[in-house]
Amino acid sequence: MSSTPTEESIVTLKAEALDQLANAADEASVESWRVEYMGRRGRLTGILRNLGSLDPDQRRAIGAAANRLKGELESALDERAAEIKRSGSSQPKDAIDVTLPGRRTRRGGLHPSTQIIREMLDAFNEMGFQTVEGNEVELERYNFDMLNIPADHPARDMQDTIWIDRERASEDGGVLLRTQTSGMQPRIMEKQDPPVRIVSPGKCFRFEATDATHEWQFHQVEGLAVDEGLSFADLKGTLYEFARRIFGADRKVRFRCDFFPFVEPGVDMSIDWNGRWVEILGAGMVHPRVLRNVGYDPEKYTGFAFGVGPERVAMLKYGIEDIRHFFGNDLRFLTQF
Amino acid sequence: MKVPLSWLKDYVDITVSPEELAHRLTMAGTEVEKIESTANWDNVVVGHVRAVNPHPNADRLRLVTVFNGAEEVEVVCGAPNVAAGQTIAYASIGAVLRDPYSDDPDATRRLKKSKIRGVESQGMVCSEKELGLSDEHEGILELDTSAEPGTPLGEVLGDTVIEAELTPNRPDCLGILGIAREVAVLTGQELRLPETDFASEDPAASVLASVKIDDPDLCSRYTGTVIRGVKIGPSPAWLADRLRAIGERPINNIVDITNYVMFELGQPLHAFDHNRVKDHEVIVRRAKPGEKIVTLDGEERKLDGEMLLIADPEKGIGLAGVMGGANSEIDESTTDVFLESATFNGSNNRRTSSSLGLRSQATLRFEKGLRSGLAEVALRRATRMILELAGGTAASGIIDVHPGKDDEQESVPLSREKLGRVLGDSIPEDKVISTLESLGFGVKSNDAGWDAKIPYWRPDVTIPEDLIEELARIIGYDEFPVTPPAGRVPTWQPRPETTVRDKIADALVRAGMQEIISYSATNEEGENRVPLPSDTLDFVRILNPISSDHATLRRTLRENVLNSVERNLRTWRGPIALFEIGHVFGSAGEGLPQERIMITGAVAGPANDPSWSEQPRPSDFYDAKGVIESLLSELHSEGAFAAAEDPAFVAGRTAEVTVPTAGGVRIGMVGEVLPEVLARFDIETPVHMFEMELDALLSVEKSIGPQDIYSPTVRYQDSARDLALLVDRTVAAAEVIKIASNNRLVTGATVFDVFEGKGLPEGKKSLAVRVVYQSPNKTLTADEISKAESGILRSLEHQLGATLRT
């Protein structure tokens, strides 16, 4: 996308456009000129689209200039096209209309959440994290207890829960819609010894009122690494790499202290988004109690875990204004990605 | 948690801007959500009321002459309390004030020149509400200031309030002092502790009252004292203002002090009317099941046997750490106060408050599990303030029952080795010690590292990793090194559920389908619109659904897909071709429900986008079937389609799909959805749907090995011959193809035209079939091909009654 429009950029654009148009010698070059400046992703179109990022005063001034230029370019285009036509085309008799649309293969598309999840998984897979997936309905034991979030603990407030069955009949506890995909951590660690390096995508659910930025259903991509000698520096290294992959190599990243019951120290990673720090990921060093719960010796092994919300990331990346679009299944939304 | 900087300044000097302060707190774990200034008053200045005269046309209005520092102006005012000689807040034309008639605290009005009952008002004398200070709008705000008229109001009044979102591990920061402690450490300033000493007189508190803890597992410490001869009244303005600034309503001086100390130190306290405690005897015990108490809010609460009660020998007088009892409440007649500051069990407190639906400021703190050392400090602080602000005499000593004294962890060890191992970096010895000490830990060095004595306000620090976080967050996370992840990469494990699912999704996309994702929960009524196969399991019901629309887990994707078709038919002109891959659920009795992954899709509307080169046509069965065929061909296999029945589909237009090469496994079905089902979704055009199960496709994928994919190309020429056949209408094309393919020289056969009607006998149809002949050993002669063809024709005639069209 183009950067923030200025009056200067409009003047420059005008000069370039008219200059180039004068040099367009045939219908094809006129057409490619049109696409370059006034097509859907054209340079002038880009300016008009980015007006929204300006403050109101500027928007008025620059918007007017851009619209004026649009009119000028349109008439220049018509004039040049007519000129070329008049100069007599040297087309053969059996010429076809090359401007008719071609026969395309109609393709569908993946849901934007799926696309961004795959992008994230690719990044982590390449760092040796293997994808594991679990069920959407989970036992309280795996979703909470094993992750150092016991019943009657205030940390449960961070994840209001949708329950299928609340009875704690056994140590499995109740049955619930998973509030995080982190339940895969103890499930995998119970079954295997370190090294562990997994990443777990999937739907999660919270008992939360829905609005433009909150959904009771959303996806999460959550990861875990446990081995001898893994440290906070490795956690930072992994997440830096991830942020570079997803948001670009130059993206500024910051880490700050935060609290999640299954990690200590706890981390929040924010990225610089147009000069504003935006939280995108929670992480930390795996809490020794979580390791002990699955029979790992915390004096021998250390590890780190992280979780990120694909919808939040997609909203940021594409400027999607309402999270409810994701499960609205409107083709006008879905087919844009 | 709201933190007014004016209050914070009692304990620490603020040497940085509010923005910088917010930044440092946020980086260290106390996230500041917003900074609000209540001092944003343009065109509002200090004014003096010079005269008050009656309004000529209205009894309840007055004409007030205000000196604004420059001139005298006349203002129409309706406030009953305006009087000459007052110092007030004067707003001139153009000032933006809060709209006093709106409940929305953000609603504002710009002051305009206006005539009120015929007299022009040159501005306004403001109420607290108009200034956004409180909801007080009964009268104007009288300022207590010596500032000159004309001084901007912001210089006299107003404050900056930072709003911090606290993590559940830090109850100390639910006190302003806790935040001040963070600020002091993060800005290198000294912390000033509030005063806690006071004068006392015999008799001793333990003579005036007694405390007995029957259930020490739920109350590890109970401190109390008695203050006699207090005078109940409103709190002084500064105290009331502070409470209002953090959103609390002042009640009376005693109650306000207990609240104030809670917001200052983080320890909830409770004051009882000493003389309403029978025999001055306080008993801390579990309630009897069914025991009742009326709490301060006037509600009668029925208790269970796990709820902790503060009682006297006769009755409950308070719900421990949740809310006091109405029967021992402080009121105007109170003269003697019994003050409680105790340490209650966090999870029990949380359980009680959540099962009674009674979350209070007290439970917000107790549920986090406070350390017992805080109780005594808060008791002494509150006693001092009561003596100062309500008078009376404090008993000597305090009552202190501390059964949990020896159970509390005193210190946390931290080894250098662990610090280095977790952080991947070392921190200099003196930095470790000075950082921990600045946070209030008592640090002793030893051979392995350090031993940190836990301060009484930090219940969250219990293990070495907690100390590591303390060090890292104060030093700053960004100060630590970044390395690419070390450690071993585990051996790769196959996860076909993931890889095959992704492959399927990709194949469907290439076949023109758009992926959708719906909610995993629906409701019975909605889902029951689509009939499901009879072996479908029962609904899995949600105990606390987010809404009645999402009260059960879906048993099918059919409903979601049809909803989506309906929604898009209204707004989408092109072909509708969509699919979902998602979990469906069925009740399996105890424990986890059955969970399967289904792939369901539909086509509806036009089959193609409008085009200059293609005839428009509606999508039909064969579009849906083609999607499955494309998918299977990407899995290097082929499906067999046979007429089948399903309660949601039109009989005779529905097929079941199996894969013969995978042991005949049934992967799903495809068909036209019944019009009466579609009508329930308000869909008026035909919809063709397919449904497959991931597990079945996994077994298809598994059945195909690399050896099944490649065979060498044959060197010898193949030949294609077309047959025009006349068969009964009921003969399936697949039968014809099967018979033709049975010939050992045939490598492929396809139907390329179907025709029935005009020119054909009744009940017959014409099938045009292209048959490809080839031998791996030689180029076939025309004779050999004709012989093979005759054989095929004989079989077709014999088995299907097919004849060659002439």
**pLDDT score of B162 more than 60:** yes
Alpha-carbon distance B476 to nearest alpha carbon in chain A (angstroms): 7
Question: A218-232, B102-116, B417-431, B679-693: lowest mean pLDDT where?
Answer: B102-116
**pLDDT score of B43 more than 90:** no
CB atoms within 10 A of CB A228: 14
- B36-40: Cβ within 8 A, 24+ apart: B36/B160, B36/B161, B36/B162, B36/B163, B37/B158, B37/B159, B37/B160, B37/B161, B38/B131, B38/B132, B38/B133, B38/B157, B38/B158, B38/B159, B38/B160, B38/B161, B39/B153, B39/B154, B39/B157, B39/B158, B39/B159, B39/B160, B40/B154, B40/B158
CA–CA separation, A136 and A162 (whole Å): 12
Domain boundary among B366, B401, B436: B401
B422 lies in the same domain as B562: no
CB contact under 8 A, A330 and B593: no
pLDDT above 90 coverage of chain B, percent? 82
CB contact under 8 A, B516 and A111: yes
CA–CA separation, B142 and A269 (whole Å): 48
In chain B, the residue whose alpha carbon lies closest to the alpha carbon of A219 is: B517
A81 lies in the same domain as A118: no
The predicted structure's pLDDT at residue A65: 86
Mean pLDDT of B68-96: 90
CB distance B342 to B320 below 8 Å = yes
Which of residues B147 and A221 earns the better pLDDT score?
Answer: A221
**pLDDT score of B40 more than 80:** no
pLDDT confidence band for B805 (50 / 70 / 90): confident
Domain boundary among A50, A69, A86: A86
pLDDT tens column, B177-192: 999 999 999 999 999 9
CB contact under 8 A, A135 and B592: yes
pLDDT tens column, B273-303: 999 999 999 999 999 999 999 999 999 999 9
Longest pairwise C-alpha distance within chain A: 89
The predicted structure's pLDDT at residue B439: 97
**Of B461, B339, B352, B344, whose CA–CA distance to B390 is shortest?**
B339
Provide the CA B334 distance to its chain's centre, in angstroms: 45
Of A109, A130, A229, the CB nearest to B514: A109
B265 lies in the same domain as B122: no
Question: Per the domain annotation, does B192 fall within a domain?
Answer: no
**pLDDT score of B705 more than 80:** yes
**Best mutation target, A113, A198, A231, to test chain B (most B CBs within 10 A):** A231
CB contact under 8 A, A257 and B473: yes
A78 lies in the same domain as A116: no
B335 lies in the same domain as B271: yes
**Of B447, B402, B455, B410, whose CA–CA distance to B429 is shortest?**
B447
Q: What are the Cα distances from residue A21, in Å, to A67, A87, A98, A274?
A: 19, 16, 21, 35
CA–CA separation, A196 and A286 (whole Å): 12
Length of chain A equals: 337
Domain boundary among B705, B726, B754: B705
Question: Per the domain annotation, does B255 fall within a domain?
Answer: yes
Of B422, B492, B591, the CB nearest to A231: B422
B501 lies in the same domain as B644: yes
CB contact under 8 A, B346 and A228: no
Question: Per the domain annotation, does B512 fall within a domain?
Answer: yes
In chain A, the residue whose alpha carbon lies closest to the alpha carbon of B483 is: A237
Q: Which domain holds residue B458?
A: 413-479
CB contact under 8 A, A230 and B486: yes
B745 lies in the same domain as B674: no
The predicted structure's pLDDT at residue A295: 96
**Best mutation target, B166, B307, B462, B482, to test chain A (most A CBs within 10 A):** B482
B28 lies in the same domain as B58: no
The predicted structure's pLDDT at residue B134: 72
Name the CA radius of gyration of chain A, rounded: 27
Domain boundary among B401, B431, B449: B401
CATH code for the domain in which residue A124 is found: 3.30.930.10
DSSP B643-708: E---TTEEEEEEEEEEEGGGTTEEEEEEEEEPHHHHHHTT--S-EEEEEEEHHHHHHHHHH--GGG
Alpha-carbon distance B497 to nearest alpha carbon in chain A (angstroms): 8
Tell me, yes or no, if A111 comes closer than 8 A to chain B by beta carbon: yes
Q: Which helix (H) or strand (E) holds B483?
A: none
The predicted structure's pLDDT at residue B209: 96
The predicted structure's pLDDT at residue B635: 94
Alpha-carbon distance A177 to nearest alpha carbon in chain B (angstroms): 9
Q: Which domain holds residue A233?
A: 112-334
Sheet architecture: strand order including B308-311 = B210-213, B281-286, B308-311, B316-319, B323-324
Tell me the pLDDT of chain A (337 aa) as tens digits: 446 778 888 888 888 888 888 888 888 888 889 888 888 888 888 888 888 777 777 888 888 888 888 888 888 888 888 888 777 666 788 889 999 999 888 899 999 999 999 999 999 999 999 999 999 999 999 999 999 998 888 888 778 899 998 887 788 899 999 999 999 999 999 999 999 999 999 999 999 999 999 999 999 999 999 999 999 999 999 999 999 999 998 889 999 999 999 999 999 999 998 888 999 999 999 999 999 999 999 999 999 999 999 999 999 999 999 999 999 999 999 999 9
Q: What are the Cα distances from residue B381, in Å, to B258, B262, B375?
A: 9, 10, 10
Helix, strand or coil, per DSSP, at residue B473: helix
The predicted structure's pLDDT at residue B353: 94
Question: Per the domain annotation, does B486 fall within a domain?
Answer: no
A143 lies in the same domain as A18: no
**pLDDT score of B454 more than 70:** yes
B54 lies in the same domain as B102: yes
CB distance B690 to B717 below 8 Å = no
Residues 134-163 of A with CB under 8 A from B: 135-139, 150-155, 157-158, 162-163
Residues 301-330 of A with CB under 8 A from B: 302, 326-330
**pLDDT score of B372 more than 90:** yes
CB contact under 8 A, B488 and A195: yes
B514 lies in the same domain as B535: yes
The predicted structure's pLDDT at residue B112: 86
The predicted structure's pLDDT at residue B144: 77
Of A113, A118, A237, the CB nearest to B482: A237
A265 lies in the same domain as A227: yes
A210 lies in the same domain as A64: no
Tell me the chain A residues in contact with residue B346 when contact means C-beta distances shorter than 8 Å.
Answer: 152, 154
CATH code for the domain in which residue B167 is found: 3.30.56.10
ipTM for the complex? Answer: 0.85
pLDDT tens column, B539-598: 999 999 999 999 999 999 999 999 999 999 999 999 999 999 999 999 988 789 999 999
Tell me the chain B residues in contact with residue A236 when contact means C-beta distances shorter than 8 Å.
Answer: 477, 480-483
B577 lies in the same domain as B551: yes
A151 lies in the same domain as A280: yes
Of A127, A164, A265, the CB nearest to B542: A164
CA–CA separation, A116 and B187 (whole Å): 41
The predicted structure's pLDDT at residue A2: 47
B682 lies in the same domain as B720: no
Tell me the chain B residues in contact with residue A227 when contact means C-beta distances shorter than 8 Å.
Answer: 486-488
Question: Per the domain annotation, does A213 fall within a domain?
Answer: yes
Question: Per the domain annotation, does A107 fall within a domain?
Answer: no
The predicted structure's pLDDT at residue A3: 60
A200 lies in the same domain as A259: yes
In chain B, the residue whose alpha carbon lies closest to the alpha carbon of A138 is: B592
Question: Per the domain annotation, does B491 fall within a domain?
Answer: no
Question: Per the domain annotation, does A166 fall within a domain?
Answer: yes
Q: What are the Cα distances from residue A47, in Å, to A33, A57, A63, A315, B463?
A: 16, 16, 9, 22, 56
CB contact under 8 A, A259 and B29: yes
CB contact under 8 A, A231 and B425: yes
CB atoms within 10 A of CB B410: 10
Q: Is B708 exposed, middle or buried (0-12, 13-18, 19+ CB in 10 A)?
A: exposed
B531 lies in the same domain as B659: yes
B677 lies in the same domain as B724: no
CB contact under 8 A, A329 and B518: yes
Question: Per the domain annotation, does A102 fall within a domain?
Answer: no
A304 lies in the same domain as A166: yes
Question: Per the domain annotation, does A97 fall within a domain?
Answer: no
Of B473, B481, B498, the CB nearest to A133: B498
**Number of domains making up chain B:** 6
In chain B, the residue whose alpha carbon lies closest to the alpha carbon of A156 is: B168
A62 lies in the same domain as A134: no
CATH code for the domain in which residue B766 is found: 3.30.70.380
The predicted structure's pLDDT at residue A1: 43
CA–CA separation, B650 and B675 (whole Å): 8
Alpha-carbon distance B520 to nearest alpha carbon in chain A (angstroms): 8
Tell me the chain B residues in contact with residue A330 when contact means C-beta distances shorter than 8 Å.
Answer: 567-568, 571
Tell me the chain B residues in contact with residue A255 when contact means C-beta distances shorter than 8 Å.
Answer: 477-478
Token pair of A184, please?
């895969």
Tell me, yes or no, if A58 comes closer than 8 A to chain B by beta carbon: no
pLDDT tens column, B122-140: 899 998 888 877 777 778 8
Alpha-carbon distance B428 to nearest alpha carbon in chain A (angstroms): 17
**Best mutation target, A97, A104, A106, to test chain B (most B CBs within 10 A):** A106
Question: Per the domain annotation, does B224 fall within a domain?
Answer: yes
Helix, strand, coil % in chain A, rounded to nearest 5: 45, 20, 35
**Number of domains making up chain A:** 2
A118 lies in the same domain as A71: no
**pLDDT score of B146 more than 80:** no
CB contact under 8 A, A114 and B347: no
**Best mutation target, B543, B564, B623, to test chain A (most A CBs within 10 A):** B543
In chain B, the residue whose alpha carbon lies closest to the alpha carbon of A130 is: B492
Tell me the chain B residues in contact with residue A264 when contact means C-beta distances shorter than 8 Å.
Answer: 463, 465-466, 468-469
Residues 188-207 of A with CB under 8 A from B: 192, 195-197, 203, 205, 207
CB distance A308 to A124 below 8 Å = no
